[in-house]
């Protein structure tokens, strides 16, 4: 009996020791390479928020390390669970990694999340989740349908969506009053726009009954929620990547895949039968790709790449921007004057005219700076290289080590943006955004060859909605909504965004 207990206790000790060793094995990694290791270093790595649920959040953990080391160091060594990762603290070094030394940091940590489960076939088509030559091919295929010229030709889709948005707002006001939950409104707008752009269908989100959730929106919401949760699950799996294969982890849910497969099949069939054959949209681009050898799986994968951020991220940017403008009536009024002046000269603004409105661009840039929906990016070193960390210190990076660029932290640092917590669109006067991006401290869409490929789509959606709303309504705050780290990837408005829409007198 005692022998059995003794053996069991021994086995438990050995198991604990094995887990401990497994988790801490690399902890001298940075020290051996002459790079400072960030403290505190726990058994769960530098950011316990990756593994611990709810109580902590990765983006807040990164903030702590950033605050502690940013003034003295260009970068510090960290551990993402047990994986060595260099946290960049100097924007110039971020620029070096993203742009100048791109060939050494070509892949992203997210691109290591797929490939282990062949069933998860649509996600593998997305450049966001691809590596190496696959990434290059997928990116080239995807961006072909999102060039300024293509968007210009598809611009009526956004114009129509803008009109439907106004009609929907009016119906809500008549049925329910002036206060409208604006998160819901933003998702309705991006769902409508993306369904029309990608599949040529009316998603029914702005044309159906007030408050009704159409099947397209329900599936898209469930699917994007689960996709973002998947990113978090996969970040956790960095602690033991072999588990992905063992557990057959996947990104996209089977139900959603079936829905979008059927939708894409039907939309292609309809278009082939001649319906909408004169349209330039993403569906027409998918057909061109099929003519060059793309399969139906490729078509669905590309469609979902656009939907993920075209629906979710763009809506998040939109309702944050509306909320911020509702908090800043003076800036809202200044923006409205710019819009009114442009509309007085030409009632139907063209794609180029919309993109040439300087204050609208400044307000969007400033809103993106404050919100930064994708708060950090992680690159994998794909070719050995050295990074100069200053003070005679050089980091030798080997393939496999990763680097984190903390865009959110740069955007909220008073050193780069005096009074960084304030909404001041004038910071972005005279094309300052591109100068700041080149300095590495303004990265709402990343930078370099892996810069967001849907940047123009996202900007177009947000600008179109703002143009329509502000030219018809005064938007006011009714309740303050706190900003909170929600999923661990970013810091967002946490709660309903109830704004008051008062029709402007003409
Ligand atoms: C305003 C909304 C958007 C924001 C703030 C945003 C932000 C970003 C950021 C920061 C990255 C870089 C991540 C990295 O470097 O690892 C990125 C990449 C990407 N974005 Fe966006 N995005 C937005 C809209 C879109 C849209 C509408 C699409 C699709 C049309 C899209 C598709 C992608 C893809 C596919 C990548 C990966 C590119 C690659 O790795 O080559 N995004 N986005």
pLDDT digits 0-9 by tens, 266-289: 999 999 999 988 999 999 999 999
406 CB under 6 A from ligand 1? Answer: no
In angstroms, what is the span from residue 148 Cα to ligand 1's centroid? 16
139 CB under 6 A from ligand 1? Answer: yes
CA distances from 218 to 122, 146, 159, 204 (A): 19, 26, 24, 11
**pLDDT mean across residues, the chain:** 93
Tokens of 376: 């950090």
In angstroms, what is the span from residue 445 Cα to ligand 1's centroid? 6
Query: 244 with 120: CB under 8 angstroms?
Result: no
- Per the structure, the complete domain to which residue 381 belongs is given by 37-503
* pLDDT level of residue 96 (50, 70, 90 thresholds): very high
Instruction: Using most ligand atoms within 8 A of CB, pick from 148, 408, 454, 465 the residue to mutate for ligand 1.
Output: 454
Mean pLDDT on 339-343: 96
pLDDT reading at 152 higher than 90: yes
In angstroms, what is the span from residue 310 Cα to ligand 1's centroid? 9
In a domain, 14, yes or no: no
pLDDT reading at 2 higher than 70: no
For ligand 1, atom 26, name the residue with the nearest CA. Answer: 454
pLDDT reading at 260 higher than 90: yes
In a domain, 169, yes or no: yes
**Which atom, in ligand 1's list, is nearest to the CA of 108?**
16
Task: Kindly report the backbone phi and psi dihedral angles of residue 75, in degrees, each rounded to the nearest multiple of 5, phi listed first.
Answer: -165, 155
For ligand 1, atom 7, name the residue with the nearest CA. Answer: 445
Domain with residue 310: its CATH number is 1.10.630.10
Query: What pLDDT score does 22 carry?
Result: 67
The contacts of residue 443 (CB under 8 Å, 6+ apart) are 94, 98, 377, 405, 407, 410, 411, 437
In a domain, 212, yes or no: yes
In a domain, 28, yes or no: no
Among residues 153, 150, 195, the alpha carbon closest in space to that of 303 is found at 195
441: annotated binding-site residue? no
Query: What pLDDT score does 1 carry?
Result: 64
* pLDDT level of residue 214 (50, 70, 90 thresholds): very high
In this predicted model, what pLDDT tens digit does every residue of 426-476 receive, in sequence order?
Answer: 999 999 999 999 999 999 999 999 999 999 999 999 999 999 999 999 999
In a domain, 17, yes or no: no
In a domain, 481, yes or no: yes
Query: What pLDDT score does 54 carry?
Result: 66
Query: What pLDDT score does 487 carry?
Result: 60
Cα–Cα distance, 506 to 504 (Å, whole number): 6
For ligand 1, atom 10, name the residue with the nearest CA. Answer: 445
357 CB under 6 A from ligand 1? Answer: no
In angstroms, what is the span from residue 455 Cα to ligand 1's centroid? 6
15-19, 144-148, 297-301, 325-329: least confidently modelled range: 15-19
pLDDT reading at 486 higher than 80: no
In a domain, 30, yes or no: no
For ligand 1, atom 42, name the residue with the nearest CA. Answer: 454
In a domain, 198, yes or no: yes
Give the count of domains, the chain: 1
């Amino acid at each position: 009996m005692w022998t059995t207990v003794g053996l069991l206790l021994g086995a438990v000790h050995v198991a604990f020791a094995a887990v401990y060793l497994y988790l801490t094995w690399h902890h001298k990694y940075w020290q051996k390479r002459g790079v400072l290791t960030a403290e505190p270093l726990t058994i769960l790595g530098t950011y316990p928020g990756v593994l611990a649920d709810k109580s902590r959040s990765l983006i807040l953990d990164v903030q702590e390390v950033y605050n502690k080391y940013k003034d003295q160091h260009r970068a510090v060594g960290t551990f993402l669970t047990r994986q060595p990762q260099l946290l960049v603290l100097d924007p110039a070094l971020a620029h070096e990694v993203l742009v100048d030394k791109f060939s050494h940091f070509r892949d992203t940590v997210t691109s290591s999340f797929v490939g282990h489960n062949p069933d998860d076939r649509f996600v593998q088509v997305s450049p966001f989740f691809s590596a190496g030559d696959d990434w290059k091919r997928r990116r080239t295929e995807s961006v072909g349908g999102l060039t300024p010229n293509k968007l210009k030709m598809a611009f009526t889709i956004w114009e129509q969506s803008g009109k439907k948005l106004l009609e929907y707002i009016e119906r809500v006001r008549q049925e329910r009053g002036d206060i409208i939950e604006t998160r819901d409104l933003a998702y309705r707008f991006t769902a409508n726009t993306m369904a029309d752009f990608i599949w040529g269908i009316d998603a029914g989100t702005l044309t159906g009954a007030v408050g009704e959730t159409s099947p397209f929106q329900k599936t898209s919401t469930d699917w994007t929620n689960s996709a973002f949760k998947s990113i978090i699950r996969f970040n956790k799996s960095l602690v033991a990547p072999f588990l992905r294969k063992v557990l057959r982890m996947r990104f996209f849910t089977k139900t959603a895949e079936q829905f979008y497969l059927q939708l894409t099949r039907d939309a292609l069939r309809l278009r082939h039968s001649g319906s909408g054959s004169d349209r330039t949209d993403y569906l027409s681009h998918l057909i061109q790709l099929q003519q060059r050898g793309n399969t139906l799986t490729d078509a669905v994968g590309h469609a979902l790449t656009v939907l993920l951020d075209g629906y979710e991220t763009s809506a998040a940017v939109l309702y944050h921007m509306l909320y911020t403008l509702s908090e800043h009536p003076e800036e809202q009024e200044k923006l409205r004057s710019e819009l009114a002046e442009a509309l007085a000269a030409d009632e139907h603004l063209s794609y180029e005219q919309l993109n040439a409105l300087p204050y609208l661009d400044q307000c969007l840039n400033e809103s993106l700076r404050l919100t930064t929906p994708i708060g950090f990016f992680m690159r994998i070193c794909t070719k050995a290289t050295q990074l100069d960390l200053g003070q005679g210190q050089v980091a030798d990076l080997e393939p496999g080590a990763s680097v984190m660029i903390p865009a959110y932290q740069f955007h909220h640092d008073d050193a780069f943006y005096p009074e960084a917590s304030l909404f001041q669109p004038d910071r972005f006067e005279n094309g300052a955004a591109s100068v700041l991006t080149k300095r590495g401290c303004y990265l709402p869409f990343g930078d370099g060859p892996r810069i967001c490929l849907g940047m123009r789509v996202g900007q177009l959606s947000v600008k179109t909605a703002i143009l329509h709303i502000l030219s018809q309504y005064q938007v006011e705050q009714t309740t303050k909504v706190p900003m909170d780290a929600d999923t661990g990837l970013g810091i967002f408005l946490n709660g309903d965004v109830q704004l008051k829409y008062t029709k402007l007198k003409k």
